[in-house]
Amino acid sequence: MRKPNHRQSGKTVPLTIEADARRHAKEESWACELDLCGPLEKLAASVPGVICSFRLRPDGTTAMPYASPAIFDLYGFRPEEVASDAGLIYSRIHPDDAKRLKTSVSDSALAMTQWHEEWRFDHPLKGERWIEGRSMPVRESDGSVLWHGYLQDVTERKEGERRIAELNAYLRLLTDAVPALISYVDTNLRYRMVNRSYERWFGHPAKEIEGRTIRDLLGEAAWKIVSPNLRRALAGERLEFETELPSKDGESRWVQVSYFPDIDAKNSVRGIVIMVVDLTEHRRIEDELRRSRKQFADLMARQDGIRDSERRHVAREVHDELGQLLTGMRMALSAFRMRGNEPQQTDVMHTAQQLDRMLDQTTDVVRRISVSLRSTVTEHGLLPALEGLATDFRNMTKITCRLTVSGEIRPIGDPWATTVFRIVQESLTNIARHAQAKSVSIHLSCDAARLRIAVQDDGRGFDPEAAQQTGSGLGLFGMRERAAIAGGKLRLISSPGKGTRLELDLPFEAEVSE
């Protein structure tokens, strides 16, 4: 204990007290450093980034009074190299980022607000790296501003962001190239991404559409149509449907809509990918094609009617005129034969018998031609006409031909009955000419919805595609065209050495709709 100085009584005590206070404060500061600096250094060393302080002096110079050891890995400089002057760091900041970084530091110092920035840095060993910094400013008594904060290397994150940005750009390019409307909505049915087709449809930039709800964009009328299916998609169901959507301007469009739920690893729906294809023009073309086919079917029916009428006329002429002449010739020949009983007329009688046989054959030919020229479909119905067709085919070709029926055959009017008859007739003609078959089966089946007929032979068969390429399948083309006009489908199954099967499927609604 220092003794008081009596020579300076009155002043010694205050000076001693002041000195003691300074000493105690310093000792307390040392104690604090001894107790706390160790743990703080350990804490700073364990953090994956850099804990530091940054000072901006009134004259504009900078320093980093404190930086954790990780600064060497981040910047390539040791803490003591930048403790009094941070110019080394600024010298290696990317030129395109340096001005922006200095401006953000000045703005934070002026407003005393949190500072946050990202910039590129040329590391002496690692090359270009991305750095992110966050800190809070404190104004010091000499006018300097001191920031305490945190720095970290975010190069990998920035590279990931760059790759994601590239993928998004590619995705945007692909979706914009598709003529369909493609979008992504969240679980609140709010658009998060739309392609360029939305801009053409709705007349708004994509950024004005993104953020809006489906209900707001489409309007109430269209919303009532799509909302039930949207709810199913939000439940995880994948959907595809066609519908007519009214628009806000009063027009409507036929569309094909597909909903693809975006399901995460926990099996929860986090959004829906939507694709909408405009079918309006396609529907218009289909309607025009349907009308054209109807007109063509009417024209073919009229031509078939004219042809049948001509055939009936020719059949009558053949039967009546030629039949009468043949009958007269037969009567004359019979009278001639009755008069010739003399032996010398034996040769004449032999000739008369030959003529008689030729007249029988000619009469049969005339009868067959007359029958074939008549439209048995219109006179007797489809089933009797097919039965007669099978019988004539069997008699003329000596090929076994069986007709079988299943189900109740309902009445079918023209021109559809004639279409079925002509297709079967053409098929039998092809078999007789090309198939070299020994047997043919015709099966007719009918239910409430459709009529089916199949013609099958055991002949040599052929390659349908090859026949089509060589142009030798005109008969098949004609049958297919007849079937299509009648609203049906024709299918041909054949291969070399395995015979041929022809199938006709004719829906009854096609008959009604036409």
pLDDT at 22 over 60: no
CA atoms within 13 A on the CB side of 50: 25
The tens digit of pLDDT for each residue in 372-407 reads 665 556 567 888 889 988 998 998 899 999 999 998
Query: What's residue 289's pLDDT?
Result: 82
The tens digit of pLDDT for each residue in 238-291 reads 999 999 998 877 788 999 999 999 999 999 999 999 999 999 888 888 888 878
Identify the three-state secondary structure at position 256. Answer: strand
Q: Cα(462)–Cα(464) distance, rounded to whole angstroms? A: 6
Q: Cα(75)–Cα(68) distance, rounded to whole angstroms? A: 12
pLDDT at 458 over 70: yes
Query: What's residue 35's pLDDT?
Result: 45
Query: What's residue 484's pLDDT?
Result: 82
Segment 12-17 shows an average pLDDT of: 42
Beta bridge partners of 407: none
Two structure tokens written together for 9: 């009584």
Q: pLDDT band for 106, please (50, 70, 90 cuts).
A: very high
Two structure tokens written together for 35: 């107790």
Query: What's residue 15's pLDDT?
Result: 40
DSSP 65-118: EEE-TTHHHHHS--HHHHSS--HHHHTTB-HHHHHHHHHHHHHHHHHT--EEEE
Q: pLDDT averaged over the chain?
A: 82
Q: pLDDT band for 441, please (50, 70, 90 cuts).
A: very high
Query: What's residue 236's pLDDT?
Result: 95
List all residues 6 or more positions away from 147 whose beta carbon is below 8 Å from its beta carbon. Answer: 53, 54, 55, 56, 108, 115, 135, 136, 137, 138
Pairing type for strands 439-446 and 400-406 reads parallel
Please classify residue 489 by burial: count the beta carbons closer than 10 Å to its beta carbon, then call 0-12 exposed, 13-18 middle and 19+ buried: middle
Query: What's residue 511's pLDDT?
Result: 46
8 Å CB contact between 295 and 303: no
Segment 188-201 shows an average pLDDT of: 93
**What backbone torsions phi and psi does residue 495 show, to the nearest 5 degrees?**
-155, 150
Q: pLDDT band for 466, please (50, 70, 90 cuts).
A: confident
